[in-house]
Structure 1
Amino acid sequence: MNGAATVNAAALPPAPPAIVGPDGIPLLGRFAGPAQGLDWARLAPPYARNALWRRLHHKRWHYVALVTEEIFCAVAIVDLGWMTTCFGYAFDRSDGDMMANFSQDGLPGRWSATMANDAGGASRFARRDTHIGIVPIAAGGWELTVHCPWVEIGARFGAIPAPFLLATGLVRGGSVHATQKSGGLPLTGEVRTWRDEYSLDGGVASFDHSNGLLPRETGWRWASAHSLDAGFNLQAGYFGACENAVWLDGAVHPLGAARFIVDRKDIMQPWHIFTEDDCLDVIFTPEAARRETRNLRIAASRYVQPLGTFTGWVRSAPDAPKRAIDRLPGVTEDHFARW
C-alpha cells in the first residue's frame, strides 16, 4: 500500500500541527499549509521500528530550485542516516552552458550537515570547501547561501503567494513518508560563477523538503515547474500519487496518478507527462541534465535530472477550464537508489 489519496477537487484541509497524533498514529493525506514538524520520533507500532532500522532507513532531503530568464540553479542537502551528501548546479539558459555542477559527501551527524525536521527550520552542509545553508529569515521566507569553488549563491525567497502542499503516506517496504512542497516563491539575490554574475531579482524559487522511513531500494520519476501564478509537482514511484498537485492563482489542488512516457535510452528526447484524472498533459523538452551513477558496494544510485521547459495545459479539476502552460521552466528526474 502506498497511501495514495482519492483526488478531490475541493480545497485541501489545513496542515495539522503535527504529522504524528498523540496516539502515535501518522496523519495520512494531502494538506495545504506549512508543516509544524516532520518528526517520526513518536510513532507507535506497527509504524515504528527499532533504533537500528530507523537509522538505516531514515532519509531526509532539502532541495531548492532558482530560475530566471537567464539562469536555472538547483541545490540540495541530503541526509541518508549513515552519511550525508549535497549537490548543486548552475545552468545558463541563454547559451546552454552548464557553468557549475558539483557534489560533495560528508559524514553523518553534525560534523558535516544538520537537517531541519520541517521547512521552517534550518538545513546546513559544511565539508572541506563546500558550505551550504538553507535558513529561515526574520522577515519571512528563506535565505540560501552556497560557497564552493564552482559557484557562489546568495538568494532570498518568500513571502508565500500560494500555499504549501504537505503530503504524508505509507510506503511499501518502508514505513511512512512526508514531504513539503512549495509553489512558486518570489526570488531575489545573485549567482556568481567563473564566467559571469547573474541577478536573481524577479525570478522564482521553489523547494522540496522531504522526510521518510524508506525501503532499502527506492525508485521514482519526478517533475516540478513553477511560476508565481501556476505550477505543479508530480511523482510516480515509491510514493504513488500522494504528492501530486497543481498550483493555480494562489490555491493548491490535488492531482491523480502521473504517467511519464520517456525514452530511457535517450533521456534528452521530449518527455510526455500526464495525469490519469485528465487534469494535466504536458511535453517536457530537456535542455541539459545533471547525471550521477555511483556504486559504493553497500549503496548505489542511478540519477539523472534533466532541466528544460514544459508546454501543455493544466487544470484544477476534470470539469474546470484548461490553463495553457507555455515553456514553463522546471525539471524532471529519473532516480533509483539502494540506500
Structure 2
Amino acid sequence: MRGPAPEALCRNGALVLGSWEGIPGKANLIDVHRPYHYPLPRFLRTTRIKEWQAVQAGDPDTFIFAVLYDAKYLSMASVDIWDRAGKRKAGFRQTFPGRRFFFPASLEKSEIGIKTGHRELSISVDMDSGSMKLRASNNLRKAPAASFDLDLTFDLREESSSAFSVCLPLGLNRAMYSTKILMPCGGSIEIDGERRTFKEEKALGILDDHKGYYPYHLHYDWVTGSGVEPSGRRIGFNLTDNQVKDQRRYNENRLWIGSAIHSLPPIRITRPYGHAAPWVIQDTEGMVDLIFHPEVPHDITMRLGLADVDYIGPFGRFEGSLRSSSGEKIDASRLYGMGEDKNLRL
C-alpha cells in the first residue's frame, strides 16, 4: 500500500488507481471521462455505478450484517442479526424500485437510511466527531418476524480505528472503489424484549463504503472475519476474488493486526462440497490458509426479467491461519464473519 489516500480518485477525467492507508477526500468515479470508450452524459454514467455501504459487527455472542445498496434500477435495505449463543435470527430485507439512496462522494459526514412504518435502518458517519452510528429496528410484533432495536456506536478516531482504501481497474476507464475501516463498537441490541450490551473491549465492526463501474454481470467471491484476542488486540481480514484486472498488482486483500494493516496476495475460494459445506480460501504464497464453516444461510434470489440476483452469503466461523507481511502467524479460530458468492445481472 502507498501512503496517504489522494484528495480525489478522479483527476481531470482520469482515474487514480492504487491502494492507500486512510480515506480519500472524494470517491468521485462519476467524473471519469469515457468509461465505455465513448463520452456519456453524467446521468447515464450514474446509472452504471453500483454503490453501497455495509457494516459487519459483532462480539463473541452476536453477528450483525447491515447494508444499504443502490444499483440505480433497484435499491435494497437489509439487516440480519445472528444470535450465535441462542441460535436464532432477526432482521428484515426491503427492496425498492429505482434509486432510493444517494451516497456522497466523501465519507466526512453523511447519514443514509430508510424509515418505513415499523422498520428503520440508518448508517451515519461523522469524521469530525470520530464516530459512526448504526441504528436499526423492526417493531412489527407478528410471528415469525422477531421485533428488535439495534443501536451501535463505532469509534472512528484515528487512534482507535484502522482504514484502507483502494481504486482498482475493472476495464478501460472503469474502476471500483472501496474504503474499509476496522473499529471497536459499543451499544445495545434488544430482540423480543431481551436486551444485550456490546462492550468495546470485545466488540468490533467493519465499514465498507463502496462504488464501482461493475459490468452487467457482476460476480465476486469474498470472505471477511474479525475478533479480539485475549490480550485485547483487534484482528480482522478482508479477502476477495473479483473482476479486477491484474489482481497480483491490484487487490483489496488485507489483514488488520492491531492498528497495522498488511497486504495479502491474490486468493481463490473453492467450495468442494457446495455452499453449505466448508469453503477453502488459499493463496499461492503460504500467507492465507483458511477454512470457512457456514453456520446460518443468508441468501437472496430474485428474477426480474433482465435483472437477476443470485446471492449466497452465509455467516460462520473460521479455522486455519493468516500470515502477515512481517511473518507473524494469526490463528483464525477466534475470528467470525461471513462469506459471499455474489452474482448480479443488472
TM-score range with shorter-chain normalisation? 0.7 to 0.9
Which amino acid in the other structure matches residue 119 of structure 2?
A: T
Counting only pairs closer than 5 Å after superposition, residues 277-316 of structure 1 correspond to structure 2 as 277-316=285-324
Change (3 A) 1:295 1:128: farther
CA contact (8 A) 2:278 2:293 kept: yes
Question: What SS does structure 2 have at the residue aligned with 1:104?
Answer: strand
Structure 2 CA distance for aligned equivalents of residues 85 and 126 of structure 1: 13
Structure 1 CA distance for aligned equivalents of residues 16 and 305 of structure 2: 36
Tell which deviates more after alignment, 167-176 or 207-216. Answer: 167-176
The equivalent of 2:26 in structure 1 is 37
The equivalent of 1:209 in structure 2 is 209
CA contact (8 A) 2:30 2:45 kept: no
Counting only pairs closer than 5 Å after superposition, residues 80-229 of structure 1 correspond to structure 2 as 80-98=71-89, 100-109=90-99, 112-120=100-108, 121-137=110-126, 139-149=129-139, 150-159=147-156, 160=158, 161-172=160-171, 175-183=174-182, 185-194=183-192, 196-202=194-200, 203-227=203-227, 229=234
Structure 2 CA distance for aligned equivalents of residues 180 and 156 of structure 1: 18
Structure 2 CA distance for aligned equivalents of residues 164 and 49 of structure 1: 33
1:113-133 deviations in Å (ceiling 9; x for gaps): 332334333222234433221
Residue 90 of structure 1 deviates from its aligned partner by 0.7
Residue 46 of structure 1 deviates from its aligned partner by 5.1
The equivalent of 2:263 in structure 1 is 254
Question: What SS does structure 1 have at the residue aligned with 2:29?
Answer: coil
CA contact (8 A) 2:322 2:329 kept: yes
Structure 1 CA distance for aligned equivalents of residues 67 and 256 of structure 2: 22
CA contact (8 A) 2:297 2:313 kept: yes
CA contact (8 A) 1:179 1:208 kept: yes
User: Which one has more relative contact order, counting CA pairs under 8 Å at least 6 apart?
Assistant: 1
The equivalent of 1:6 in structure 2 is none
The equivalent of 2:17 in structure 1 is 28
Which amino acid in the other structure matches residue 196 of structure 2?
A: Y
Question: What SS does structure 1 have at the residue aligned with 2:333?
Answer: strand
Q: What is the identity percentage for the equivalent residue pairs of Structure 1 and Structure 2?
A: 21
1:327 corresponds to which of 304, 318, 334: 334
The equivalent of 2:58 in structure 1 is 67
Residue 162 of structure 1 deviates from its aligned partner by 4.4
Q: Extract unaligned runs of 5+ from structure 1.
A: 1-10
Change (3 A) 1:158 1:333: same
Question: What SS does structure 1 have at the residue aligned with 2:47?
Answer: helix
Structure 2 CA distance for aligned equivalents of residues 225 and 289 of structure 1: 16
Residue 136 of structure 1 deviates from its aligned partner by 1.9
CA contact (8 A) 1:12 1:252 kept: no
The equivalent of 1:56 in structure 2 is 47
Which amino acid in the other structure matches residue 237 of structure 1?
A: N
The equivalent of 2:142 in structure 1 is none
1:138-167 deviations in Å (ceiling 9; x for gaps): 531201111223432111001353431111
Question: What SS does structure 1 have at the residue aligned with 2:332?
Answer: strand
1:194-251 deviations in Å (ceiling 9; x for gaps): 2622212231111111011111110111111123522110111223642111112311
Structure 1 CA distance for aligned equivalents of residues 25 and 279 of structure 2: 36
Residue 108 of structure 1 deviates from its aligned partner by 3.8
Structure 2 CA distance for aligned equivalents of residues 68 and 74 of structure 1: 12
The equivalent of 1:243 in structure 2 is 252
The equivalent of 1:4 in structure 2 is none
CA contact (8 A) 2:35 2:172 kept: no
CA contact (8 A) 1:116 1:123 kept: no
Which amino acid in the other structure matches residue 118 of structure 2?
A: D
Q: Which runs of 4+ in 1 moved over 6 A?
A: none
Structure 2 CA distance for aligned equivalents of residues 330 and 280 of structure 1: 16
TM-score by length of 2: 0.86
Which amino acid in the other structure matches residue 279 of structure 1?
A: M
Structure 2 CA distance for aligned equivalents of residues 338 and 41 of structure 1: 21
Question: What SS does structure 1 have at the residue aligned with 2:30?
Answer: coil
Which amino acid in the other structure matches residue 7 of structure 2?
A: P
CA contact (8 A) 2:303 2:309 kept: yes
Which amino acid in the other structure matches residue 181 of structure 1?
A: K
Structure 2 CA distance for aligned equivalents of residues 104 and 37 of structure 1: 29
Which amino acid in the other structure matches residue 122 of structure 1?
A: E
